[in-house]
Amino acid sequence: MSIFSYDFMIRAFIAGAIISIIAPLVGNYLVLRRLSQMGDTLSHVALAGIAGGMLLGTNPTISSVIFVLLSSFGIEKLRKSYFRYSEISIAVVMSGGIALAVLLLSLAGSRATNVVSYLWGSIISVTTADIKIIIVLGIVVVITIVLIYKELLYIAFDEEAAGVSGIPISTINMVFTILVSITIAVSMKIVGALLVSALMVIPPAASLKIAKSFKQTLFYSILFSFISVFVGIIVSYYLNLSPGGTIVAIALLILGFTNILKPRL
């Protein structure tokens, strides 16, 4: 029987298609700005949002979006306070996110029974409501990046020069951090909170090895992300594996292949 005859698989592929676009789209700017660890930090905060949703009996995806957005504001605030040591903001928020997640999960008790599906991803747990949220937020991310594409690119390569030229750096940074937050929150159901940052970093890292321009980097990273997500979902279905782990493993294989191929180009 075809896997497309199951409604949960169709939902998984729809969610995967959107995630495979927005994750590397946002991730490219993280890599260029040397902020790869921000994705990992906010993914840990997303765990606190999931735990909070389970504790309050609300949709964990929505609660994780709220938690991660609030944390993104905290990161920007700390980055300004410790301008010369901006990495402190990432360490502080990550530690706080993990601590809060542990506390909320303890309080949730028996209500946190399906937390594992959010940690490692689960194609079965994607609901129709999740799809609607992912579609809406995914469109918001893509449209926003298209609108501020030039500003993001300028800041990524030279933030000081961008500020001198009149670009509102603080506003653009805040908007970008919000986009990262949304991407992480909507990707958890498929990839898992602990692995979503890998999907944001590995495809762009692979594309950097073979691309000759930034637009090519965007194209290849989305292509590699598509391959990783779709092949990962199919393999995880037939072999009964964790979708998040399988997706990231395939992304790593692609990264390895590009590193082998590079000397021959």
**DSSP track, 157-172:** H-HHHHHHTT--HHHH
Q: What is the mean pLDDT of residues 5-24?
A: 87
Element (H, E) at 188: helix 169-191
Q: Over 60: is that where the pLDDT of 158 sits?
A: yes
Domains of the chain: 3-264 (1.10.3470.10)
pLDDT at residue 262, rounded to an integer: 66
4, burial (CB in 10 Å: exposed 0-12, middle 13-18, buried 19+):
exposed
Q: Over 90: is that where the pLDDT of 222 sits?
A: yes
pLDDT at residue 265, rounded to an integer: 47
At how many degrees (to 10) do helices 169-191 and 36-56 cross? 60
**DSSP per-residue letters across 119-154:** HH--STT--HHHHHHHHHHHHHHHHHHHHTHHHHHH
pLDDT-derived band at 21, boundaries 50, 70, 90: very high
Q: What is the mean pLDDT of residues 117-126?
A: 72
Q: Over 80: is that where the pLDDT of 38 sits?
A: no
- Residues 57-77 have pLDDT tens digits of 777 777 888 888 888 777 777
Residue 247: which residues within 8 A CB-CB, separation 6 or more? 121, 190, 191, 195, 199, 228, 229, 232, 233, 236
Beta carbons within 10 angstroms of residue 249's beta carbon: 18
Average pLDDT, the chain: 82
- Residues 81-99 have pLDDT tens digits of 766 666 677 777 778 878 8
Measured at the alpha carbon of residue 141, what is the angle toward residues 74 and 207, in degrees to the nearest 5? 100
Whether 111 and 77 have beta carbons less than 8 Å apart is answered as no
